Amino acid sequence: MDLLRKIFLSTLVSVLMTVIVTAALEESIFFSAFVGIPAGIIAFLAVFAYLSLKKDK
């Protein structure tokens, strides 16, 4: 899998994770973006690492 595809998929998951976490915590935490953004960054790193280490068949 080429680098651009890995970055695109990781960014997509990161944005989705940020929006989902921020929306889920919106009612209970005033600054829910301060939780959602780090969750998105962690999701980006996890997906990128997984795609980089995965063996292509």
- Number of structural domains found in the chain: 1
pTM exceeds 0.85, yes or no: yes
Which pLDDT tens digit goes with each residue over 5-40? 999 999 999 999 999 999 999 999 888 889 999 999
Q: In Å, what is the CA distance from 47 to each residue of 27, 28, 38, 55?
A: 28, 28, 14, 14
- Domain interval for residue 29: 3-53
